[in-house]
Each structure stands twice: as structure tokens, then as C-alpha cells.
Amino acid sequence: MKQATCRWAIRIALVLLLGPAPRLSAQLTAELDSFWAEVSKTVESGDFDGYAATYHPDAVVIFGDTTQPISEALAGWEAGFDDTRTGLLEASVDFRFSERRNDATTAHETGIFRYSAFSPADDGSVQYVHFEALLVRKDRWMMMMEFQRGAATEAEWAALEGEE
């Protein structure tokens, strides 16, 4: 019991010292929503160069417990973009957020993305993935880190519907 009381005292002290977690302003929310809409648009159209441009050149992607430079991840994803652009594949990605923190030049976004891919050759697939992203704003927003934490469920996705 003493340990739980101590944890609450620490949390209260931190809130008093640091203030509540920053909330997104309407302008920053719109900018970040526009960033994610651009990511979705590039996936749907098969615009590989446009998609690659949403990442900082030094970005890192994390899949579970492995990391790699975004350049390596992009090389593995390029064929899917080519197939989408030429009509061999229909792909889309949508995002819903459970937590969004930022200041004027940095953002940390947490949520779930829904990626779907369908081709005439198969029934396709839909994947729900828990993710975190760190973004920086230079002349535009760019992702510095994408952390694909693991599989999510359709129910978890649905639960975030009002959080968008």
C-alpha cells in the first residue's frame, strides 16, 4: 500500500512541477493530420518517392525488437509501391491515434495503423499495427522514427475511432 501511495505522490508532484502533458493546438493538429493524409495518399497512389520524402534521411524504423535505417526498409517496400502504381496491387493505410504530444518543432504520435493490400491474384490482407512515430519539423514535418510495436486487433482499431 505504501508503494502505491508513493507512486501517486510522485505523479502529483510531477504534474505540479511540469504541468499537464501538452495538448495539440488546432493548427498543429491540422498540420500533423495533413502529414498523415499525405502518407496515406502516397501509399494509395504508389508514389514511392513521395512516401520516402515523409521520412527524414536519417530516420530509423523499428520492427518489434529489430531496428534498421529507413533506407533499408524503403528498399524492401519499393516493389509494393511499384505494384500499386502499375495497378497490380491496391494498397491503403489509415491512422488512428491514442496519444499525440508535440511542441512547435517535434511530435510524438502513438496509435494504430490499418494497412490493406489487395491484388487480383489473392484475397489480400488487412493488418492492424500498434505504432509510435517521432517527427520533426524543419521546412515540413518528417518522421525520424517509426516503431511498429506489434499486431493490433480490429477491436482495438475500432476503439480509437473517436480519437482521430
10-residue averages of pLDDT along the chain (164 residues): 54 51 74 97 98 98 96 97 95 97 95 95 91 96 98 97 66
pLDDT at 14: 45
pLDDT at 98: 97
pLDDT at 58: 97
Q: What CATH number did the domain enclosing 136 receive?
A: 3.10.450.50
Cβ atoms of residues 50 and 142 within 8 Å: no
| 3-class secondary-structure state, position 94 | strand
Domain assignment present for 157 = yes
pLDDT at 157: 97
| Residue keyed to cell 524503403 | 74
Cβ atoms of residues 55 and 142 within 8 Å: yes
Domain assignment present for 4 = no
**Segments in the chain forming alpha helices (H):** 2-18, 26-45, 48-52, 70-85, 154-159
Domain membership of residue 60 as a residue range: 22-163
Domain assignment present for 9 = no
Query: How many beta carbons lie within 10 A of that of residue 130, not counting itself?
Result: 17
State CA 157 to chain mean position distance.
Answer: 13
pLDDT at 16: 52
Total domains, the chain:
1
